[in-house]
Amino acid sequence: MPLSRTLSMSSLPGLEDWEDEFDLENTVLFEVAWEVANKVGGIYTVLQTKAKVTGDEWGDNYYLVGPYTEQGVRTQVELLEPPTPALKRTLDSMNSKGCKVYFGRWLIEGGPLVVLLDVGASAWALERWKGELWDTCNIGVPWYDREANDAVLFGFLTTWFLGEFLAQNEEKPHVVAHFHEWLAGIGLCLCRARRLPVATIFTTHATLLGRYLCAGAVDFYNNLENFNVDKEAGERQIYHRYCMERAAAHCAHIFTTVSQITAIEAQHLLKRKPDIVTPNGLNVKKFSAMHEFQNLHAQSKARIQEFVRGHFYGHLDFNLDKTLYFFIAGRYEFSNKGADVFLEALARLNYLLRVNGSEQTVVAFFIMPARTNNFNVETLKGQAVRKQLWDTANTVKEKFGRKLYESLLVGSLPDMNKMLDKEDFTMMKRAIFATQVIFHPEFLSSTSPLLPVDYEEFVRGCHLGVFPSYYEPWGYTPAECTVMGIPSISTNLSGFGCFMEEHIADPSAYGIYILDRRFRSLDDSCSQLTSFLYSFCQQSRRQRIIQRNRTERLSDLLDWKYLGRYYMSARHMALAKAFPEHFTYEPHEADAWEGPGASCRALPHPHLLTLGLCPHPRNADPGLPLQEAAKARRNIRAPEWPRRASCASSTSGSKRGSVDTAPSSSISTPSEPLSPASSLGEERN
């Protein structure tokens, strides 16, 4: 089944300048998610990094709605009084009726205002609300599923809050409510059931059933059309959760997801085609180090080398200057995250390096938290011995230097046999004889006694991130590698990999290797990954430096400054659909691309200008070699523009569907990407 283009895959300038068309003065946006000021998974990163861009667009009319957690409020939220009379009346009314609602400012960049609903304090109404949910939506929730029960409480409280807010406002603003994931979906269903005048958006970041099916080792992507979704959800005892997610997707005015591959998944499992794809971005400014990122790589690598010295103390029989550091990070989902493929590829890589007599050594890190009781005392001794050796060497060095200085002061050359006495040799021998092995069982932290570095510092110190995921709706880990200038391996089953293949003609030339796990067998995928790893090991230090420079240039492509416009488009589509008498929606229609030889009449992608990839030489980066600039110009991918569409009117009887997009040709089976060595050969010369 080919991947087809959606609205979000067109060139970014294809989205209009909305400020000229939409008056947001009497419009309020509520973004509802379980992970507002509550770090649980990847949605927390989406909300946290996107808050500033959304706040800049909406100002004080932007609110995040989430659950109240004592830990989250104590460390991340400053409680405040509501800034508007209507909002204050809303909170006072709910609190007077047995709820606990808090208001404050989330202490992140952009400082968005948050409304926090205490679901525990409303548990008294759980059974009544579950009964109402059954009567209204025919969704039953079992008593033993605490997470689903929390979703019911959170959904009813959210709907109560939105209804009360509308009732307390005299001017009746246009309200947009954006719900993330199934945990917030009940609130959306109730808003539609109670006919609240709210424009609703539902975003699924990963389908529930898809995650469960992939974890069960099924041939997922080749059987999407054949799954009996009700049966599969029932067998996995998640049918009620699946119903919540599917109901929210169908009730929403606008349905979105985070990647093209997940859009296909949602179309078959949730039975609705997304209206628009909203890729996840990053706050690139946070990671920006300008020309310093190469120095940061060297500094962070030195920290990792110190850990390696302690870990392999006593049998450090390889040259650290010829050692490469690869890593994989994420949840401990062995197959979904591709850890099984990575291990097999490492075994094959080990064979190739030995057979070919390579001097390179590869140290691979698996940063995946697993269940542990505590640190084994023996695992800490290696680092303790390393520190002891360092302290001993410094002590002996100081004594040696003092004796050398005193000998030179009297005008004689030192007697080397007397520079170190018996006590010094005893001290060094005592420090040498101890060997231990260290295993790091948790996510990285600067307070860890084993590897005291933060995740960002660790990533900067590595040479390559390897993420051969089978199920990855987006993939923040390779995106973070990219903005820090670290090459990475992703797959064409991850949202990030599909996004990069869509926007970059030759991703491997920029340190973004796309592993084919969609059209190849598992064994062939392992062989391709081994090829990527081996060719990376063959690069010279100079080639790796050049490649990191090229990888870092792609940062702007992943910035919310650009990707936030997809969310902006989704909100305007929802407004036009919910309030057709006040808002209309017409995407921009640009000149069509006439083929490889045509000039770029449409505006180039903003990141092309930044990276010097525009076909006009005057826009090229003057610091690039001429052949580099020429190669970059060839990498421009021709944009495909959506047909003119309109959401200016909507009737209750109209068919629910997505905005029409221009037809595109099927994506053929990917060919073998260029190896790192070959794609960078011209720089080496």
Confidence of residue 443 (pLDDT cuts 50, 70, 90): low
pLDDT for the residue numbered 670:
35
Residue-wise pLDDT tens digits, 348-383? 998 999 899 888 888 888 887 776 666 555 555 555
* pLDDT, average across residues 418-436: 47
Per DSSP, the three-state class of 332 is: coil
pLDDT in tens, 277-335: 999 999 887 766 656 777 888 888 888 888 777 766 556 667 888 889 999 888 878 88
Please give the C-alpha separations between residue 4 and each of 7, 8, 210, 356, 467, in angstroms, as whole numbers: 10, 11, 19, 42, 24
pLDDT reported for residue 394: 61
Q: What is the pLDDT of residue 575?
A: 95
In this structure, the strands spanning 101-106 and 113-117 are: antiparallel
Contact 325, 462 (CB under 8 A): yes
Looking at every residue in the chain, the average pLDDT score rounds to 78
Q: How many CA atoms lie within 13 A of 21 on its CB side?
A: 17
Q: Residue 586: its pLDDT value, please?
A: 76
Q: Give percent of the chain with pLDDT exceeding 90.
A: 53
Task: Name the residue with tokens 């054949």.
Answer: 226
Say how far apart CA 533 and CA 360 lie, in whole Å: 12
In this prediction, residue 374 carries a pLDDT of 61
Question: Would you place residue 396 in the very low, low, confident or very high pLDDT band (cuts 50, 70, 90)?
Answer: low
Tell me if 584 sits within 8 A of 648, measured CB to CB.
yes
Q: Say which residues have a Cβ less than 8 Å from residue 655's Cβ, sequence separation at least 6.
A: none
Give the pairing type, strands 361-367 and 323-329.
parallel
Which tokens hold the place of 390? 């360092």
pLDDT of 537-575, one tens digit each?
999 999 999 999 999 889 889 999 889 999 999 999 999
pLDDT greater than 70 at residue 87:
yes
CA distance 263 to 206: 9
Cα 462 to Cα 488: distance, rounded to the nearest angstrom: 10
Task: Answer yes or no: are the C-beta atoms of 444 and 469 closer than 8 Å.
Answer: no
* End-to-end C-alpha distance for the chain, whole angstroms: 42
How far apart are the C-alpha atoms of 260 and 495, rounded to whole Å?
Answer: 7
- The Cα–Cα gap between 99 and 121 comes to 6
Between these two residues, 219 and 397, which has the higher pLDDT value?
A: 219
Higher local confidence (pLDDT), 632 or 531: 531
Q: Which two tokens stand for residue 260?
A: 């093209």
pTM score, whole prediction: 0.76
pLDDT at 357: 87
The per-residue pLDDT for range 123-168, each reduced to its tens digit, is 999 999 999 999 999 999 999 999 999 999 999 999 999 999 999 9
pLDDT, one tens digit per residue, over 490-548 is 999 999 999 999 888 889 999 999 999 999 999 999 999 999 999 999 999 999 999 99
Per DSSP, the chain holds a count of helices (H) and strands (E) of 26, 14
List C-alpha distances in Å: 476 to 17, 334, 337, 444, 467: 28, 17, 12, 16, 10
